[in-house]
Amino acid sequence: MQLLLPLGYEPSGAVWHQRLNKLFIISDGGIVSALDADGSNVQNWSVPGDLEGICIADPATNIVYVANEVPARVIEFNFVTGQVTRTFDLSPWMPTPPNSGMEGLTFVPSATDPEGGIFYGGHQDNGKIYKFRLPIRSSQTSTTVTYLGNVTPVPGRVDIADLCFDRDNNVLYILYDNSDVIRAVNLDMSLIEEWFVPGIQQEGIAVKPPCDVFIADDVGLLTRYTGFPSGDFDHDGVPNCDDLCPGTPAGQQVGANGCSCSLMPGDVNGDNHIDGNDLQIFMNLVVNSDSASPDVRCAADLDGNGRIDAADVQRFKSLLLSSLMFPK
């Protein structure tokens, strides 16, 4: 689905705000915008600069962070007051060739980091990702930047257009313009998956959980796609779009929703009644036969007779008799 943008708007970065249920995008002409997922209720702010990326560090605040390409800077912007509150200079570490400097910005949260996480800046010209710690927790006024080094996700591949960190799946997405791909990687830059992305001058990517992605194109297009990310990141047999518990550790048995059976043992129909005491499951089996048998990934065998409770007729008879003799 293509979302309508004002004539002349050149979207160059995007991020989804989970708390506000809003998409924030920027124009490299110096505009920060917020809009609904269908493109309605647009609100604009003027933030002068060569804007190329946008991210959110703490969704509980009213702050977004915007990447300025030349010179390389991160702009802290309060979208409630409409004011720029701080500017962080990255130019001592990030090269700033004309029109091919910092193109993407994202924030990778970390519970062990003193500032709550690390900023990643993607460079168009050399294909590197630069890491910085900014004093966003420890101070409201300091503009000190701590440089933490850089990595090259794919040697020889340049033209990073944007970065997006997926907090639900703990995955970093890298949008490459020349290659027309979205690359999903772990934080050590090891490959998870790649997808072809349509467009001419892809400039921004924003993932909306659980299964939408917005792609901003510099020709003035903003497109929303569904069914992303495809695949099964945690290899639990449940596709990403159906997985309510992404990142399940390897080896754990999960139910149809991708959550560990240990979280709700033996509740195959998800009604919060353990299967061994759930008359509804037995009634469904009797009425609908095997054609409507529930998912048995997490099914229990509470009487230990070798038959899962959801298909254990003997246990069903005992439960039914008990319910008739001792109604609740």
Mean model confidence pLDDT for the chain: 82
Same domain, 268 and 254: no
User: What's the pTM?
Assistant: 0.79
Q: For residue range 143-196, what is the model confidence (pLDDT) as tens digits?
A: 999 999 999 999 999 999 999 999 988 999 999 998 899 999 999 999 999 999
Would you state the pLDDT for residue 181? 94
**Which of 165, 119, 137 is CA-nearest to residue 16?**
165
Same domain, 305 and 189: no
> Which of residues 17 and 221 earns the better pLDDT score?
17
Q: How far apart are CA 219 and CA 123, in angstroms?
A: 20
Same domain, 193 and 305: no
Instruction: Collect contacts of 222-227 with beta carbons under 8 A, ≥24 apart.
Output: 222/2, 222/3, 222/5, 222/11, 222/14, 222/25, 222/39, 223/1, 223/2, 223/3, 223/198, 223/199, 224/1, 224/2, 224/3, 224/37
Would you state the pLDDT for residue 222? 87
Same domain, 137 and 277: no
Same domain, 146 and 103: yes
Would you state the pLDDT for residue 328? 47
Same domain, 188 and 294: no
> Which of residues 302 and 202 earns the better pLDDT score?
202
Question: 50-54, 220-224, 240-244: which has the highest mean pLDDT?
Answer: 50-54
Which CATH number do you get for residue 158? Answer: 2.120.10.30
Domain count, the chain: 3
Would you state the pLDDT for residue 305? 55
Same domain, 287 and 241: no
Q: For residue range 25-70, what is the model confidence (pLDDT) as tens digits?
A: 999 889 999 999 988 899 999 999 999 999 999 999 999 999 999 9
> What is the pLDDT averaged over residues 109-136?
97
Would you state the pLDDT for residue 272? 52
Same domain, 181 and 287: no
Same domain, 238 and 170: no
Would you state the pLDDT for residue 230? 81
**Which of 136, 132, 129 is CA-nearest to residue 173?**
129
Same domain, 129 and 248: no
> What is the pLDDT averaged over residues 104-133?
97
Same domain, 72 and 97: yes
Same domain, 142 and 251: no
Structural domain span for residue 313: 264-325
For tokens 């759930």, name the residue. Answer: 278
